[in-house]
Amino acid sequence: MSHKLDISVVVPLYNEEESLPELVAWIDRVCLAEHLSYEVILVDDGSNDGSWGVIETLKTRYPAIRAIRFARNYGKSGALYCGFAVARGEVVFTMDADLQDSPDEIPEMRRMILDEGYDLVSGWKKRRFDPIGKRWPSKFFNFTARLVSGIKLHDFNCGLKAYRRRVVKAVEVFGEGRQGMGGLFGKEKDENY
């Protein structure tokens, strides 16, 4: 099946006005260099800083931007869920807005999905800049998540992931019955893309 768009990058964000211009410019640079057609789906999870204003300015400069704005803060997973629902790319990435994830990884992760047949490729924060108080709980979480799920992922919590399109669309169907999510698609969300 051929898709018009090579990739979607879904970015959940909450009060990230400072990092958004650099993040979007960086994604754009990588996609241009690799001749990838792309969209960046910025999901503003009810920010109360100037993030939405920054997004509106960026939209005039980068036609690849689509933006969704929540009326209040729902949390990262709600933002991802809505981003997945509208994503049109053949490979769908998720990436944090705070520049902890590098867009330079996009081409190789895409290649692993398309050429090596993976459904999901996950990033992994190899060098952590977080304080030790955050690193040890994170190690414990990852250990437990591996044990319970049987999935051998090094870093479950890494924001950088690449999914084959049909995987995120399956997540969408699966998530539809979840409590609270219906509201996101109904009245409470202010969409603008």
Q: How far apart are CA 132 and CA 134, in angstroms?
A: 5
**Closest residue by Cα to residue 166 from 92, 75, 77, 56:** 92
Q: What is the dihedral of CA 188, 23, 52, 41, to 10 degrees?
A: -40
Among 20, 23, 64, 97, indicate the residue that binds ligand UDP (CB under 6 A): 97
Q: Which of 6, 7, 8, 14 binds ligand UDP (CB under 6 A)?
A: 14
Binding of ligand UDP at residue 18 (CB under 6 A)? no
User: Which one of 18, 98, 105, 172 is in contact with Mg ion (CB under 5 A)?
Assistant: 98
Binding of residue 64 to ligand UDP (CB under 6 A):
no
Q: Cβ atoms within 10 A of the Cβ of 99, count?
A: 15
CB of 38 to Mg ion, least distance (A): 22
Q: What is the closest distance, in whole angstroms, from the C-beta atom of residue 165 to ligand UDP in the complex?
A: 22
Cβ nearer to ligand UDP, comparing 48 with 149: 48
**Total interface residues for ligand UDP by CB under 6 A:** 15
- Amino acid 113 reads I
What are the tokens at 59? 């939209």
Site for ligand UDP in 158-177 (CB under 6 A): 159
Maximum Cα interatomic distance, the chain, rounded to a whole number of Å? 47
At 65, phi and psi to the nearest 5? -80, 135
Interface contacts to ligand UDP, rule CB under 6 A? 12-14, 16, 45, 73, 75-76, 79, 96-98, 100, 157, 159
